[in-house]
Structure 1
Amino acid sequence: MSETRTCNPAAPSIFTEQVAELVAIGAAIAANCEPCFKYHYDQARKLGVSDLDMRYAVDLAQKVKETPARAMLNLAERYLGKSTSETKAAADSCCVTNPETQAGHCK
């Protein structure tokens, strides 16, 4: 049997303009959207949001974003074995090398 949740109309909303900007900052991090981050950072500053609160939003967004990426890497490692230091170094760089042609390009 599923639980039915009801909204408490007497409860005040905590979703202020400041909270909305923190959420938008987190979404910008998740979307890798530099213009979005800059815009919402500026908006949050105008609303008096502290750098510390913005840092919390960024850190939390990054943790949420990294979780599925880490899970996919773990899956690949289970199928293919642990990566070598050489492939890890390549993965950590900005340039991706095509193993067939040894040609690299930056994203």
Structure 2
Amino acid sequence: MSWIILIVSGVLEAVWATALGKSVGFTKLWPTVIFGAGLVLSMAGLAFAMRTIPIGTAYAVWVGIGAALTVLYAMIFGSEPASVLKILLILGLVGCVIGLKLVDGGH
């Protein structure tokens, strides 16, 4: 259960990070609201997951998921240029996140 919550929290990290950019310095209402809600839910999920998943592993997985999805979103919707190298690096990041789950034997 902790791993599912951690993954959802990582997705929410990408949501709040993207909303933060779209809020234009908190001047746009709905992106600011989405940022706040996403941030609170993401942090709450991370805190919950850290009760049973080691802090280093949980944080690395959370950041990795959030970073990968944020960059992918930006590339898909045109605010960041895509390249083969960037895609390979994102795949490497995802591979590392999966590796952390696999070596976390007791959880």
TM-score by structure 1 length?
0.45
Compare the two structures and name the one with the higher strand fraction: 1
Q: Which has the higher contact order (CA 8 A, sep 6+)?
A: 2
TM-score by structure 2 length?
0.45
The structure having more radius of gyration, on CA atoms, is 1
Compare the two structures and name the one with the higher helix fraction: 2
